[in-house]
Amino acid sequence: GENVGLHLPTLSVQEGDNSIINCAYSNSASDYFIWYKQESGKGPQFIIDIRSNMDKRQGQRVTVLLNKTVKHLSLQIAATQPGDSAVYFCAEINQAGTALIFGKGTTLSVSS
């Protein structure tokens, strides 16, 4: 069935370090993935997306890597800042193309 999950519920890093947040998915037919950031009391905020015909996509300070062989997705944040502290969710579009399926999230804590 369709399932998107994350490896670790929490990640703590020092300011300036690089952060890597991982996500495993089970549906090998999935072809579109998104990373969202959710700060406390707010709605999810789009970070970056990637299609299955790509292995890597870069944004501003963020990189998403997709390994279709092992059905693994990761989000890399360079030079992590305190403002990056939030819960990060990976999500995939369902097969019907009508909804996002979210994983449970990783809480990133950045200390100064």
Binding interface with another protein (CB under 8 A):
31-32, 34, 36, 41-46, 49, 51, 89, 91, 93-94, 96-105
Q: Residue 21 class from Cβ within 10 Å (0-12 exposed, 13-18 middle, 19+ buried)?
A: buried
Q: Which is nearer to another protein, 53 or 112 (CB)?
A: 53
Q: Which is nearer to another protein, 11 or 103 (CB)?
A: 103
- Scanning the structure block, which residue is given the tokens 């305190």? 82
| Strand ranges, E, within 2-60 | 4-6, 10-14, 19-25, 32-38, 45-51, 56-58
Q: Report in angstroms how near the CB of residue 82 gets to another protein at its nearest.
A: 22
Q: Which is nearer to another protein, 17 or 49 (CB)?
A: 49
